[in-house]
A and B are shown apart, each in its own frame.
Chain A
């Protein structure tokens, strides 16, 4: 069964303190791995899609990387406005393009 596990569940950082979020996955043939940001009471906001091991993508202070078993979301010098829940999801090659999500990592960046 396709599954996604995210760690840690919650993370508190001081402004400027870099860190990484982990997403471990098992899937029967990966079509894509997706990262989303979700603010309280809102829908997930698309950040990145990664398709193959070794691929990296960057957006402002965020950098996503992918291996055959996990993905990392690196946050460099975070700011308070980066506080949100970060969701990871996988899409299987033989699926209907549906996403299987992890439970997310709640990030709080303190000034």
Chain B
């Protein structure tokens, strides 16, 4: 069990650029989640996949955000036309079929200049 991995760990970009993050969940986990966390706050839910199907998206997820999970394995989160308000830690988590216990990756810290 290698845990949830995320790449890159850090991303600095200029306002208006597009960025893409990758998450590799624990191999036997069929559920995958994206969260966003700003300083001093708990993680906020963004979106949820069960296998390859995206089953829920938060109202926080504007049209500039898109997520995919092709073949129910890894997932990508893309942010188009980044804004300074997008600066945050983006966390990926996965959970197994049997329980709701979510295991988090190390996160990708995004800084938009």
A46 and B101 in contact, given A97-B31, A102-B42 (Cβ under 8 angstroms):
yes
**Complex CA distance for A98 and B53, rounded to whole angstroms:** 15
Q: Which residues of A contact B31 (CB under 8 A)?
A: 97
Determine the distance from Cα of A102 to Cα of B91 in the docked complex, in whole angstroms: 16
Interface size class of B (residues with CB under 8 A): 20 to 34
Instruction: Count A interface residues, CB 8 Å.
Output: 24
The main secondary structure of chain B at its interface with chain A is strand
Nearest chain-B residue to A104 (Cβ)?
B42
Q: Which of B44, B101, B109 contacts A49 (CB 8 A)?
A: B101
Does B42 lie within 8 Å of A42, measured CB to CB? no
Does B70 make an interface contact (CB < 8 A)? Answer: no
A99 at the interface (CB under 8 A from B): yes
Interface string of A12-33 (1 = CB under 8 A from B): 0000000000000000000110
Q: Which of A40-77 contact B (CB under 8 A)?
A: 41-46, 49
Chain A residues closer than 8 Å to B4, beta-carbon distance: 43
Chain B residues whose CB sits within 8 angstroms of the CB of A49 once the complex forms: 99-101
Given A32-B100, A34-B102, A96-B56, is A43 in contact with B42 using a C-beta cutoff of 8 Å? no
Would A42 and B107 be within 8 Å (CB), given that A34-B101, A97-B95 are in contact?
yes
With a cutoff of 8 Å between Cβ atoms, the chain A residues found around residue B102 in the complex are 34, 46, 97, 99
The distance in angstroms between the C-alpha atoms of A26 and B56, with both chains bound, is: 21
B33: Cβ under 8 A from any A Cβ:
yes
Q: In the bound complex, what is the Cα–Cα distance between A110 and B37 (angstroms)?
A: 27
